[in-house]
Amino acid sequence: DVLAHLSDTGLLRTQCYVGGQWIDASDGATLEVLDPSTGRSIARVPRCGANETRAAIAGAVAQFEPWAARPAKERSALLRRWYDAVVGARDDITRLMTLESGKPLAESRGEFDNGVASIEWFAEEAKRTCGDVLESPDRHRRFMVLKQPVGVVGAITPWNFPFSMITRKVSPALAAGCTVVLKPSELTPLTALALAELAERAGLPGGVLSVLTGDAPAIGDAMLKSEEVRKIGFTGSTAVGKQLAAGAAGTVKRVSLELGGNAPFIVFEDADLEKAATAVVASSHRNSGQTCICTNRVLVHERVHDAFVATLTAKVSALRLGSGLEQGVTQGPLISAAAVDRLEEKVADALSKGAVVAVGGQRPKWDAGHSLAGGFFYEPTVLTGARPDMRMFREELFGPVTPVYSFSSDDEAVQLANDTQYGLACYFYTKDLSRAWRVAERLQYGMVGINEVAITSEVAPFGGVKQSGLGREQSKYGLAEFQDIKTVCLGLY
């Protein structure tokens, strides 16, 4: 079934890549991979646990010194070869991404282009690491700062970006001279295993990058307990991120955490309503609302509220739900049946507290015989009359629902926007330059989009404040997260 979609069938790997070997779980256990648009199984992959993880860590430890000792130019060249191999496989990889995550092909291509840019950028950046020579306060000593790889890295990635969450961790880690054990989401392992296959073909030494699928807590625990894993790079829920941070304390590992968000999108009264509505749809309904930077709360000035809602509702009504493989489909399914159930509960809570459905608000009614009848779909939805006492004001929706709140002053908008434990991305639309600067400074978020929602780039730091995470990915700051600073003091005599 999956093979019929691939021109290079060797990219469908259903074993794990550990220390340069393709392996099954030692007890032969497997996990099922589902196509969320049909609910049907498309593949099985190994259900690895602690033993296989220890083997992967041992491989990464064995390769660490030789990999770190290679001139950065050589690491850069190998990363570039991986990049070339991955770029050559764009059509197959994007189809794998759509098959296992459900996102429309156009979104898979967007994620691919964004994600592959990280490999290219960090391949280049690998060569540009510089330390410092410091002016000494006295005659007898000189100080230098070296930047060295932190060591073996455990990377744990989610299903909503099966490709780019991997490249943005693995590329800077390898560029810095670290070796990596990667655990992708059990819901989207095929893309990750294809990346491992391409790394092998590109000539990356076995053990420099291992990819393990399986029992998340068992694999995570083995990473946390290892004294040799020196850093955990994680993207996922705040709940799991807290567990990992607590577990990492036992061996004082570094952690980079990209966790949940609760992005506000403020539409000020002077905003271009047409552009703002287009941006809300793009941000709120991207990947059917399943990204940590998706707009979760639209805050609209009361003076423009009704006009804005009319424009927004028309645009959301025009979205097309279906299989991500089908031409013209803009919205895929959610990742799982449980995700649809959770979304429904939050919508029911809002409706019980006075919200009103402007469009959507239910599961699509496919005919019983329809090929998508078993899929995990929910209609693109706009709710008006949303208020802070509703669950969706505080909790991530992670689905295609856009709640509209109303405000009457800049202060109120900023206060509502900041009234959350999260602090990842936020957005606002205005034409007033002073307001733009003032509001950007006051928003307690790691990333602010002003008249723009496409805020992700390999050159720009990505990450949150408050309970949205620690550390930054992408950019020179993302590379620094994989480097330790060593002070060398030279005595002169």
Closest to ligand ADP by CB, 152 or 271: 152
Closest to ligand ADP by CB, 212 or 316: 212
- φ, ψ at 38 (rounded to 5°): -125, -20
Residue 258 annotated as catalytic: yes
Closest CB 183 distance from ligand ADP, rounded Å: 6
Return the amino acid letter for 128: R
Closest to ligand ADP by CB, 187 or 309: 187
Helix (H, G, I), strand (E, B) or coil at 137: coil
Closest CB 140 distance from ligand ADP, rounded Å: 50
Closest CB 395 distance from ligand ADP, rounded Å: 12
Closest CB 309 distance from ligand ADP, rounded Å: 30
Token pair of 83 as six digits: 């990049």
d(CA 217, CA 24): 18
Cα dihedral sign, 404-405-408-414: negative
d(CA 211, CA 244): 19
Binding site for ligand ADP (CB under 6 A): 156-159, 183, 185-186, 216-217, 220, 236-237, 240, 243
The single residue of 200, 258, 458, 473 carrying the catalytic annotation is 258
Token pair of 367 as six digits: 């005919």
Closest to ligand ADP by CB, 14 or 243: 243
Partner residues linked to 23 by β-bridges: 16
Q: Using only the alpha carbons of the chain, give its radius of gyration.
A: 23
Element (H, E) at 383: strand 381-384
Closest CB 231 distance from ligand ADP, rounded Å: 14
Q: Which residue number places its CB atom closest to ligand ADP?
A: 220
Closest to ligand ADP by CB, 45 or 266: 45
Q: How many CB atoms lie within 10 A of CB 353?
A: 14
Return the amino acid letter for 234: F
Q: How far is CA 362 from CA 128, 372, 378, 379, 388, in A?
A: 52, 16, 6, 6, 22
Catalytic residues, which ones? 258
